[in-house]
């Protein structure tokens, strides 16, 4: 079988080269499908080429967290394989390993983002040393169902995962999310959490009315003495269940273009916006500290981190600064919407392909009212968006209707279903900065557009 494995590697690299030359596809999953046809046990064979295997799962923040971990490990002198483009189902994971793995080399780490529903499938043949779980929010009801189903997918993965010593994976868990904190199993658990959030530079917390309901395992509602967003905060139940004490505690100061995390008395300046990204950084730093990476190296390296495409990434369209932020479910969208510059020119792209989720009812749970605040509104942030809002994608009309019911004047809503035409239009009509909020497959299309350029 080793010959079949090596043949699958050569095939993967040949196809990858051909795709790159012809630009027919980004090749994030198609190669994985072919490799698994040639060598169904590919992941079993790949194990021996990697010393320590790290997986990241959860509803939101997987790509940013895995990217941060990979960056920090590489900057500390380690060799790392990472599915940086976020292809996180079984074919995408195999795709990454087959293209990047050199059979004449041993790698220090693999850092693999894993779709919640595919973690068990990956762990069926791929070893498990560390698992980071970011959060659990309602997401893609047509694929996952409710939160209990998503949680079960991950728990099944934890129960199946073992490393090459026969040990369960070490669990790195978000203590502030009661669903994540309640996972069982693992060799042992390391918790991280936020203690305080400070808003600087005139920023202020934006109240969210869309929250995930979660009862204690005993069935009673949880009580919160601090709630940061969604169900994340400091919680307890009269039965005794409560937020576990984090080993890594952060005081977070949010600025307009970055955040500062004080973790156990050490400061880390993170070049990412929003509290949701502060949580991603905290999870990544927690893991790296557990791996023994020196504080000074983390502090220095994290400042140079470049986000994956579409995760608060800045590009330029016709010379205009363009911020691209992925949205895909109510809680994630709400946190992104809180950071939107109301003076920027806005394009929202909603697709309903399989990878996006066919069910777009989540648009009605996300608080697009923040795009039309009034001084009396709970969403008021000291400004009111008055510019035209462009909507695009296969569900552009659904998005336009949602904006209408959010109170946005219909004269300000322009529907351009074709994504390329919408991008071209806003690039020519925008009078200053641009913000683009796409779903996943729309993001992939944006990534291929030559008129969106890095500085």
- 428: exposed, middle or buried (C-beta count within 10 Å: 0-12, 13-18, 19+)? exposed
Contact 126, 42 (CB under 8 A): no
Q: Which residues pair with 250 in a beta bridge?
A: 194, 263
Q: How far is CA 49 from CA 70, 107, 272, in A?
A: 17, 6, 33
Does residue 359 carry a catalytic annotation? yes
Structure tokens at 21: 């030359």
| Neighbouring C-beta atoms of residue 344, cutoff 10 Å | 20
Half-sphere exposure of 361 (CA within 13 A, CB side): 6
Single out the residue of 130, 154, 156, 123 nearest to residue 44, CA to CA.
123
Single out the residue of 371, 422, 433 nearest to residue 396, CA to CA.
422
- The angle at the Cα of 18, spanning 14 to 23, to the nearest 5 degrees, equals 150
**420 alpha carbon, distance to own chain's centre:** 25
Q: How far apart are CA 307 and CA 454, in angstroms?
A: 12
Q: How far apart are CA 249 and CA 245, in angstroms?
A: 9
Q: How far apart are CA 102 and CA 51, in angstroms?
A: 14
Contacts of 156 (CB under 8 A, 6+ apart): 119, 120
Helix, strand, coil fractions of the chain, as percent rounded to 5: 35, 20, 40
Single out the residue of 51, 88, 50 nearest to residue 66, CA to CA.
88
Q: How far apart are CA 271 and CA 415, in angstroms?
A: 33
Instruction: Name the active-site residue from 257, 359, 418, 431.
Output: 359
Q: How far apart are CA 298 and CA 252, in angstroms?
A: 17
Q: Which residues are catalytic?
A: 359
């Amino acid at each position: 079988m080793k010959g079949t494995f090596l043949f699958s590697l050569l095939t993967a690299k040949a196809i990858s080269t051909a795709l790159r030359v012809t630009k027919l596809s980004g090749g994030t999953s198609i190669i994985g499908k072919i490799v698994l046809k040639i060598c169904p046990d590919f992941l079993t064979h790949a194990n021996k080429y990697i010393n320590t295997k790290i997986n990241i799962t959860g509803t939101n923040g997987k790509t940013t967290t895995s990217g941060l971990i990979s960056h920090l490990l590489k900057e500390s002198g380690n060799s790392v394989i990472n599915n940086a483009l976020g292809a996180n189902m079984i074919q995408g994971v195999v795709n990454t390993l087959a293209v990047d793995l050199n059979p004449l080399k041993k790698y220090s780490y693999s850092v693999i983002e894993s779709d919640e529903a595919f973690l068990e499938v990956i762990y069926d043949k791929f070893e498990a040393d560390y698992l980071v779980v970011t959060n659990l929010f309602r997401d893609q009801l047509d694929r996952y169902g409710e939160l209990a189903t998503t949680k079960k997918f991950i728990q099944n993965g934890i129960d199946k995962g073992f490393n090459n010593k026969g040990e369960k994976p070490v669990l790195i868990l978000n203590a502030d999310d009661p669903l994540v904190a309640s996972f069982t199993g693992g060799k042992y658990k390391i918790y991280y959490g936020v203690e305080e959030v400070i808003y600087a530079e005139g920023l202020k917390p934006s109240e969210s009315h869309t929250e995930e309901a979660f009862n204690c395992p005993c069935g009673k509602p949880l009580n919160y003495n601090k709630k940061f967003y969604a169900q994340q905060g400091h919680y307890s139940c009269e039965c005794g269940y409560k937020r576990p004490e984090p080993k890594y505690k952060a005081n977070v100061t949010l600025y307009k273009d970055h955040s500062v995390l004080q973790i156990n008395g050490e400061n880390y300046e993170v070049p990412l916006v929003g509290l949701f990204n502060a949580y991603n950084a905290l999870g990544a730093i927690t893991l790296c500290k557990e791996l023994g990476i020196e504080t000074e190296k983390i502090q220095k390296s994290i400042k140079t981190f470049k986000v994956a495409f579409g995760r608060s990434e800045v590009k330029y369209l016709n010379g205009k600064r363009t911020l691209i932020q992925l949205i895909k479910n109510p809680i994630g969208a709400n946190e992104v919407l809180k950071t939107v510059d109301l003076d920027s020119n806005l394009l929202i792209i909603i697709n309903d392909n399989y990878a996006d989720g066919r069910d777009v009812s989540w648009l009605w749970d996300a608080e697009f009212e923040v795009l039309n605040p009034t001084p009396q509104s709970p969403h008021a942030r000291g400004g009111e968006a008055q510019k035209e809002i462009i909507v695009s994608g296969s569900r552009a009309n659904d998005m336009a209707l949602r904006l209408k019911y959010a109170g946005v004047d219909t004269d300000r809503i322009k529907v351009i279903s074709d994504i390329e035409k919408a991008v071209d239009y806003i690039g020519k009509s925008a009078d200053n900065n641009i913000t683009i909020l796409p779903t996943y497959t729309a993001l992939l299309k944006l990534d291929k557009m030559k008129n969106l350029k890095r500085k």
